[in-house]
Structure 1
Amino acid sequence: MHDNISDADWRSWIAVCALGIGSFAIVTAELAPIGLLSLISDDLGVPTGQVGLIVTLYAWIAAGAAIASAVWLGGMPRRPLLVGLMLVLAISGVAAAFADRFASLMAARIVGAFAHGAFWAMIGTLGAQIVPKKNVGLATSIIFGGVSAASVLGVPMANFIGVASGWRMAFAIIGALSLLVAVAIWLTVPRLAGRGGIGAQALLRVLADRRFQKIFLATLLAITSHFMAFTYIEPFLIGPAGVSGHVVAPLLLAFGASGLAANVLTGAMIDLRLKAIVTSALVLTCGALLALAMSAPYLGVLGIGVLLMLWGGAIAAILVGLQTWILKEAGQDALQASAIYVALFNAAIGLGAALGAAFLSATGLSGLLLLAALIIGVGVFAIAFLREPGPVPAE
């Protein structure tokens, strides 16, 4: 590793922040259509369920792209690769804004999905390359803080822009943000050589490791259950919870703010107390979902708000904690382990939304949250018997 990179100077941390904004941009691009489905459906004249494919299919293509990029793009220098991928995402956003048919919109989204998966897989290991080993958890918290922010703020922001200026403007702004991130990465991220592509044997080695199997299982359970519930949080709040429609947006913002705060708090402790943070966050998420499912009508706005904040903060800690755990365990297998994690994460987004739709008619909204709580509870057992990971190995 280059000596000038191992020093945590101001440029290195600006680069980490640029990557965090990049993760916000790509996940906002992935999830923003959730808040625009009705607008797109009305404008293009296609059923809402069909429009939903631009979210589900995007997530699943991104999952495959994460693995493919580790195999085929792993040897490329990181800075030009990341800049190129963000430029593709920018083009995808602008093309989506100008789509006049659903097929054109889907094509623009598919192009963006390939770049999305590759970008996310590559940035997963960069925190360990550009800051000191003792600060990897903090750097990862910043980089993947964008994921947490986008997961809870991207959808309402896109909806607000779409209602005010049309759904096309929302996609255009995402494209413009991607372009700005590309410039920031070019100016701040240091020159980092690729580590070489990986083969099927390297991927299988990671998948066969019982430590990673438990982390991957926890990831799949946590993210699937989260999006199974969160996709339907608005109708749950208005329906079973009995919350007035004008209170929903502030509650969701509180959810998002709690997630951002959790990133700051966990970033300061995650390098020393990783297992405790991840385990506690899984338990808190499970408890919050259980309480919402069983007691929301009796809690009032304040009680519901507290539970949403617990859920938002806990899921943010889970996202960062599991990614950090992967990096600490992986060592020289960091690229393939991170690629598998990203693939599972994106697959779980699509799976969660699909399962939510499949179970909703049978369980109802409250039952759906209860089922999500039970699934995430299994993730606690996947992590509970793992040993605390050691520090990131020196290169």
Structure 2
Amino acid sequence: MSISENSQKMTLRIWLALFVLALSTFNIVTTELAPIGLLTPMANALATSESYIGMTVSLYAWVGALSALVASVFLGAVGKKNLLIALSIVLAVSNGLAASAETFESLMLARVIGAVAHGAFWSIIGVSAASIVPSNYIGVATSIVFGGVSVASVFGVPISNYIGMHIGWRSAFMVMSGLSVLSLVGIASLVPQISEKSSVGIGAIKAVFKSSSLIKIYFATILTISAHFTAFTYIEPMLNSLTHISEEFVPVLLLVFGVAGIAGNVITALFIDKHLKTIAVLSVLFAASMLVLIGEFHVQWYQAHIGTALAIWGATASCIFVALQTWVLRLASEQAFPASALYVAFFNLAIGIGASLGAWLVASYNVSFLYIFAGVAMALSLVFITIVPMNFENVQRTQEA
């Protein structure tokens, strides 16, 4: 991975640029997952079922996966800063259209438009962040920018749920449209021009698949993210179904989940450079155990018990998201752009699989079975994570250069 030669030290502008990119990742992932916290009000307003609204998450993820692959082939040589600005505009328009949707079909159209921007965005964000910092700050930059993903994955849903309950689900999408505009202004003002040229074309994709280590991480990603989103997509109906949990307390539990995710991301940023594999293994193990416990015992648990389980799940999920992306960037080295784009494609494919699988499990069995299934699937990903070697030779050479 080539790093900007002009960046010899971290300046205030670089730090601010990283946080602007983190805000962008927070907003785009919150946009993707917003329906999870708004299933019931959206279904009621559009006269459809919760499972149909859940499918808007699946479709968004699948279109995003395809968009990431297309971007990896055709957009590697395009100026990264201008592309980020353009994609922020598209996302703002998509959220505005979703807020004004009067039918399920118009909502799906708005979501597809946003998903196209989503996939392209993720195919370039990792390389962009690494390109504006000194080589010895790549891990920190990755943790900050992809921390937006973690925070959105565990914190964006309760925010959208709260807005939906007190103002209306349409207002939640309007807030996300406003955040897109804010991100656009921040990128235009603070992010420097990125001159790095990335590998493009089918050949670059084929080169990535020659790495057995990357393939193992991709398999682990599919299993882990599918398992997480199988359970996470239906967290709001699950909490609402609990005998000892009042409807007013659901946003509080989602908030606990989110705060724990932020804490997990901070911990990851502090230790990820030296203990990446340990963080990945322990995170998956803890998350799997929590999902199994929730599935097995949640009906009998009270608020404190559920809150504790959700906190552990939220913290470990946050660690997993950052660890897997960082692992891909380290392993890929000079192939970071196509490798990252493929990771995004598999990540979004897994979200779609998880959301769809969750809908089927809820319809065919019950919520408890869904969470047990998710925990077992996540535990299986440990097989792939534990056999990936940790010899990041290319990365070490880059950092020593």
Q: Which category of TM-score, normalised to the shorter sequence, fits these structures?
A: over 0.9
Paired amino acid for 2:279:
I
Secondary structure in structure 2 of the residue aligned to 1:202: helix
1:157-201 per-residue CA deviation (whole Å, 9 max, x = no partner) reads 223222333322221111111011011011111111252451212
1:46-81 per-residue CA deviation (whole Å, 9 max, x = no partner) reads 444433332221111011101111111110111111
Partner of 1:310: 312
Distance 1:245 1:100, change over 3 A: closer
Distance 1:380 1:4, change over 3 A: same
Partner of 1:160: 162
Partner of 1:280: 282
Secondary structure in structure 2 of the residue aligned to 1:307: helix
TM-score, with normalisation over the residues of structure 2?
0.93
TM-score, with normalisation over the residues of structure 1?
0.94
Confirm whether residue 372 of structure 1 aligns to residue 371 of structure 2. no
Shift, 1:393, TM fit:
4.7
Distance 1:362 1:101, change over 3 A: closer
What is the CA RMSD across the aligned residues, in angstroms? 1.9
CA distance in 2, matches of 1:82, 1:167: 27
Match of 2:56 among 51, 54, 76: 54
Distance 1:108 1:293, change over 3 A: closer
Q: How does 1:1-395 map to 2 (within 5 A)?
A: 1-196=3-198, 198-239=200-241, 242-390=244-392, 391=395, 393-394=397-398
Secondary structure in structure 2 of the residue aligned to 1:161: helix
CA distance in 1, matches of 2:114, 2:183: 15
Shift, 1:115, TM fit:
0.6
CA distance in 2, matches of 1:189, 1:62: 24
CA distance in 2, matches of 1:2, 1:144: 19
Secondary structure in structure 2 of the residue aligned to 1:270: helix
Structure 1, 48-57 or 220-229: larger mean CA deviation: 48-57
CA distance in 1, matches of 2:167, 2:242: 31
Shift, 1:333, TM fit:
0.6
Shift, 1:356, TM fit:
1.1
CA distance in 2, matches of 1:239, 1:181: 37
Distance 1:40 1:302, change over 3 A: closer
Alpha carbons 1:331, 1:392 under 8 Å: kept: no
CA distance in 2, matches of 1:241, 1:270: 39
Secondary structure in structure 1 of the residue aligned to 2:70: helix
Secondary structure in structure 1 of the residue aligned to 2:87: helix
Secondary structure in structure 1 of the residue aligned to 2:200: coil
Structure 1, 143-152 or 158-167: larger mean CA deviation: 158-167
CA distance in 1, matches of 2:10, 2:243: 47
CA distance in 2, matches of 1:293, 1:125: 38
Shift, 1:42, TM fit:
3.2
Alpha carbons 2:99, 2:173 under 8 Å: kept: yes
CA distance in 2, matches of 1:97, 1:238: 25
Runs of 5+ in structure 2 lacking a partner? none
Structure 1, 383-392 or 41-50: larger mean CA deviation: 41-50
CA distance in 1, matches of 2:54, 2:397: 42
Alpha carbons 2:91, 2:114 under 8 Å: kept: yes
Shift, 1:289, TM fit:
1.4
Paired amino acid for 1:67:
L
CA distance in 2, matches of 1:329, 1:321: 12
